[in-house]
Amino acid sequence: MFKLTWRNTIRHPLRAALTITGMAVAVLAFTLLRTMVAAWYSGVSAASPARLVARNAISLVFPLPVAYLPKIQALPGIVKVAYGNWFGGIYIDERHFFPTFSVDVKNYFEIYPEFLMPEEQKLAFFRDRQGAAAGRLLADRYGWKIGDAIIIKGNIYPGEFRFIIRAIYHGAEPTTDEGRLFFHWDYLNESMKKIAHPRTDQVSWFLIRVARPELAPGVAQEIDALFKNSLAETITETEAAFLMGFVSMTQAILIAIQVVSWVVIGVILVVLANTMVMNASERRGEYAILKTMGFRARHLFPLILGESVILALAGGLTGLALTFPAVRFIKASLGQYFRVFPLTWATLALGMGVSVGVGLLAALLPAWRASRVSIAEALRKVG
């Protein structure tokens, strides 16, 4: 039975090749679109349930006084507290964008153990007030090496800031963002004090690590209650909820991408179904002869089904194989926009499942029609 199925599959080489190519392109597009969605959610999925973020209750745009730090640290259940600012800044020109943060470096990197760097680089970074730590992808993008000096012009904070690359970190997981730049909050704050800037002694958020994840809701309520009715009230939420707030801003785009990914699969389903209908129509006489030889509907059904699945699997496997170089190309050429582009086993499994599903669905109608056709009717149309 398999030999007959295989011979039917390759009977029209050009038709089979075009169908496989179309299937490969569809699966490639599907997996890349699903990976794009996963990249959007990568920060949320990698968030720790033991980390909280406290920000201004009005908006993240409004800062909080750094003087809140000792009051937060004194609350029970809290292990470590760090703080930071979104710096923004312009390197070379506005086209060369990457996230830049001023943080309480020692505590910040203790709370984020997924940012890994050699111990000697870490110590040099901690000691140098002008030191900066760059992600591996960011350093590769600009060819930065340890000891290089870079200048970033502030757009939120006025002035030009000179940094020395003292450390290059890499992520402990594939979903860790390696496209960021971190530097000392003290260095920024001292610069703002010299010009009496209103954001002096202000932070964008506090990052809190609790002893156990189950303590997080209670600690969050205590922090918000501590600063209730103050000039800068807080809203404290889990890291995942905090990051989800940014993702929700582009929710419509994400839904559109997911819809398009399934539309692509719908189109290739119609194409493969059309191919199988053509093949089955051309072989009606052959199916009638097989029936005269004793073949029943249960024999013809898997014959057609197998051909469709072979075509779908060949295209699906080709598309999945092409996904790996495509992802590498996207990381290399569009790393500025997709600093994390995680091709996961779940995405690959979904792509393979979709291929098998398309193969099965595309064969249902022609297999059903072929299994029900009468011998006399089929032979009457031969020639």
What is the DSSP track for 162-230?
A: EEEEEEEEEESSTTS----EEEEHHHHHHHHHHTT-TTTTEESEEEEEESSGGGHHHHHHHHHHHTTTS
Q: Give the whole-angstrom CA distance, residue 81 versus residue 111.
A: 8
Amino acid at 173: E
CB within 8 A of 276, min separation 6: which ones? 304, 307, 308, 362, 363, 365, 366
Mean pLDDT of the chain: 86
The count of structural domains within the chain is: 2
pLDDT tens by residue, 124-170: 999 999 999 999 989 998 999 999 999 999 888 998 999 999 999 99
Query: What is the structure's pLDDT at 293?
Result: 63
Please report whether residue 337 resides in a domain: yes
Whether the CB-CB separation of 181 and 164 falls below 8 Å is answered with no
301 lies in the same domain as 165:
no
Say yes or no: 305 and 190 in one domain: no
280, 225: one domain: no
pTM of the model: 0.76
- At 187-210, the pLDDT tens digits run 999 999 998 888 899 999 999 999
pLDDT digits 0-9 by tens, 265-317: 998 988 888 887 777 666 665 665 666 666 665 666 677 778 888 888 999 99
Are 31 and 65 within one domain? no
Beta strands 51-56 and 131-135 are unpaired
Range of the domain at 326: 2-42+250-380
Mean pLDDT of the 212-236 span: 94
What's the confidence (pLDDT) of residue 295?
Answer: 64
Which of these three, 178, 201, 232, is where a domain ends? 232
Contact 84/207 with Cβ under 8 angstroms?
A: yes
Q: What's the pLDDT score for residue 133?
A: 97
Residues 206, 121: one domain?
A: yes
Specify whether 265 is located in the same domain as 363: yes
The per-residue pLDDT for 273 is 85
Single out the residue in 199, 232, 265 at which a domain terminates.
232
107 found inside a domain = yes
Cβ atoms of residues 268 and 357 within 8 Å: no
Are 204 and 266 in the same domain? no
